[in-house]
Amino acid sequence: MRQPRLYVSALASAAGEVILSERNHHYLARVLRAAVGQPLELFDGEGRLASGIIVSIDKRQTVVHVESPRLTPDHRLPVTLGLCLIKSDRFDWALQKATELGVTAITPVISRYTDSPPKADRLEKKYQHWQEILVNACEQSENNWLPKLHPVTPLDALDFGAQQAVFAHPASETVPIDPTEPCWLLIGPEGGFDATEVSDLLKKQVKPMSLGPRILRAETAAIVGLTLLGQHYGQY
């Protein structure tokens, strides 16, 4: 059986015996039926990785002996994904796959064609749900660096700073970026960006980027775009 791999946020100060979170305890005790002596791999999402071993486990808690963590290289793509909100299950899928591909940061975006953006009272619960998806994807993909999840932001309020930025758009250039610098990748919702949004992006020096000859679903476009950029950055 593959060695269990778990996210532990406070790993930097966790050497010695540590009581695991309820989330991790539930997974070990009720899903894996783990026992004392089970070796574990622990990471904190900021590059730290440590070995652990279960020293006690019961109905209430799991205690693990954790060795001193070591810092691992950051091999994430130097890309921030600006993904317009789409249907919940498709957006969740795109977050998972973008994390597996090693994106550095993700910003959920609201544009003109965004379908039913969540109201303010639901955003906190949504944000926690999305964060858990990122954690699960890092656990599965052996990525020790969690992507930074930014707040939901309207398209016209995005701040690219000094970074280059591209947006997926049919019949445009193929990966028009400098591979020595980080960049933003913007993916529109169902229906894409409208003409005014495209014009505004071009005025901000955001370059159109082709994803090939076919019209893709938004969640597919995000993965294709990241894969093309990954090849351009020499990571795939």
* pLDDT tens profile 14-64: 778 889 999 999 999 999 999 999 999 999 999 999 999 999 999 999 999
Return the domain boundaries, the chain.
5-71, 77-232
Q: By percentage, how much of the chain surpasses pLDDT 70?
A: 99
Quickly state the pLDDT bin for 188 (edges 50, 70, 90): very high
Q: How much is the pTM?
A: 0.92
Q: What class has domain 77-232?
A: alpha beta
CA atoms lying within 13 Å on the CB side of residue 54: 23
In the CATH scheme, what architecture does the domain 5-71 have? Beta Barrel (2.40)
Task: Dig out the tokens for 119 from the structure.
Answer: 């109201």
CA distance 100 to 235: 13
Kindly report the number of other CB atoms within 10 A of residue 213's CB atom: 7
CA distance 73 to 66: 20
